[in-house]
Amino acid sequence: MKTPIPYYLGQILESVRDEDGGEVAEYIPELANADPDKLAVALCSSTGHVYSAGDAEHEFSIQSISKPFVYALALQELGLDAVRDVVGMEPSGEAFNELSLGRDYRPVNPLINAGAIAVNQLINGVDSSVEDRNARLNEYFSRLAGRDLSVDAGVADSELNHADRNLSLAHMLRNYDIIKDDAHDAVLSYTHQCAIRVDVRDLAVMSATLANGGRQPVTGDKILDADVCRLTLAVMSSCGMYDGAGRWMAEVGIPAKSGVAGGLLGTLPGQLGVATFSPRLNESGNSVRGVEAFKLLSSDMGLHLMSTDNRVGTHPIRSKEEDEDHAVIHLQGHINFSAAEAILYELQGYDLDACRVALDISQVPSLNRVGRRMLKEGLRRLREGGNEIAVIDPDGTLTDRELSDGTVVPLADAEDYHINGEDVRD
Ligand code: GLU
């Protein structure tokens, strides 16, 4: 059986492909050359399973999506008190590049440009040279992505040559002793940070690292403390979408950060990271198709953070028993998107050739809408692959057993599948 998640992601892309509003960013001339039709999505579970659809290998500059990660690095290196000395944690309700500081001259949060420039200056120590700071950032972002990332020198130069606004911010920050470097050097290393090249799979994995309390889920590398991730995600949820942050949390409910090259990253704490790419932007500088794709991810996959339907529990597969012609997979706990993802991933790896397969949901108290849909699609795919399928559901928890092809999954008695074989899960 092949897990249907890449197919779901592909469907989301097809649903937003016709959205052709918005324009590629032009205030950084190099970004104006972007192909406006590129479109991609990727998702990474906190267990490191990565799925994608569309132009997933297309690279683009990370831009503002770097900001929460650099904030996390500053918190990791210096602790909250030192970081709070230069930047607040309140939503600004203003545009990303607003020429404003807070009442005490600190930028109000680390995700607007003023705050991001101030935070960039903390990395590797305030006395660091620009080269050493950039090298530290390259190494850090490469660890987060789990591969060596490069910097798009063309984008960095292009931005630097048109950086009057960011230079004004850096001059203000230096005037009020928030940063030590001169304005040009400060903007030089901030621009470098924004020009790191990534694809959507990198972003999904980086985001899943935040979701996973700082352990990169694919490489297993422990990069950040869980407390740092919690703080970063809290700031992302209140400030990540700038002047649209409140509406975003209400409508989409996934802590997120956008970048002007067209990337959009979202994190569900404890569950997963997700990212989209499409370079046409709305007036607030957010990807038009990316925003629509996130709305679908939130509604169709049940990923709204405030949803009361999103409990996360123990591993959803309690055990698996099998002999030559039967397999019973015993599930447990509430089945939402993340639980169903884990079940489908395991099923994909099992060797279930032409045997009778039953999913035992007698220990599953509930399934949400997306969990039910995904489990049923997994069963349909098993049958398509030649298995005979059934559910063991003595309490009728799977209220609707009709599959997408109109057939109904048969019920089975636990006795029919009684196997004295070995329990193959640890
Ligand atoms: N480097 C861009 C700037 O400072 C980042 C903006 C963004 O991605 O929102 O203008």
10-residue mean pLDDT series, the chain (426 residues): 93 95 90 95 96 98 98 98 95 82 91 96 96 98 98 95 95 96 96 98 98 96 97 94 84 95 95 96 92 94 82 81 88 92 94 88 91 95 94 94 95 74 42
Write down the pLDDT at residue 91.
87
For residues 236 and 295, membership in a common domain is answered with yes
177 falls within a domain: yes
Q: Are residues 237 and 352 in the same domain?
A: no
The Å distance, Cα 212 to ligand 1 centre, comes to: 26
Give pLDDT, residue 352.
84
Give the end of a domain, one of 301, 332, 363: 301
Do 270 and 144 lie in one domain? The reply is yes
Specify if 422 maps to a domain: no
Same domain, 321 and 369: yes
Could you tell me the distance, in angstroms and rounded to a whole number, from the CA of residue 166 to the centre of ligand 1? 9
> Could you tell me which residues are beta bridge partners of residue 215?
222
Would you state the structure tokens that stand for residue 151, as one six-digit string? 């910097």
Centre of ligand 1 to C-alpha 257, Å, is: 11
Provide the pLDDT for residue 103: 84
Residue 424 lies in a domain: no
Same domain, 256 and 352: no
Q: Which residues are annotated as a binding site?
A: 64, 113, 159, 166, 190, 242, 260
Residues in the annotated binding site for substrate:
64, 113, 159, 166, 190, 242, 260
CA nearest to 232, candidates 214, 246, 216, 253: 214
Q: Are strands 272-277 and 263-268 parallel, antiparallel or unpaired?
A: antiparallel
Q: Give CA angle at 23 (19, 24), nearest 5°.
A: 115
Residue with tokens 């210096």: 78
- Among residues 239, 272, 301, the one where a domain terminates is 301
- The sheet carrying 40-45 orders its strands as 50-54, 40-45, 272-277, 263-268, 256-258
113 vs 99: CA distance, rounded Å: 9
Between CA 392 and CA 327 the distance in angstroms is 12
Q: Last residue of a domain, which of 242, 268, 301?
A: 301
* CATH number, position 350: 3.30.750.24
27 Cα: distance to centroid of ligand 1 (angstroms): 10
Q: What is the pLDDT of residue 312?
A: 57
Separation between Cα atoms, residue 146 and residue 392, nearest integer Å: 41
CATH number at residue 260: 3.40.710.10
**pTM for the full model?**
0.89
Does residue 248 sit in the same domain as residue 395?
no
Same domain membership, residue 325 and residue 262: no
Measured from CB, residues less than 6 Å from any atom of ligand 1 are: 63-64, 96-97, 113, 159, 166, 194, 259-260, 285
The minimum-distance atom of ligand 1 relative to the CA of 259 is: 8
- Number of domains making up the chain: 2
Whole domain around residue 120: which residue ranges? Answer: 5-301
Phi, psi of 314 (to 5 degrees): -80, 180
Q: Are residues 9 and 154 in the same domain?
A: yes
Ligand 1 atom closest to 166 (CA): 4
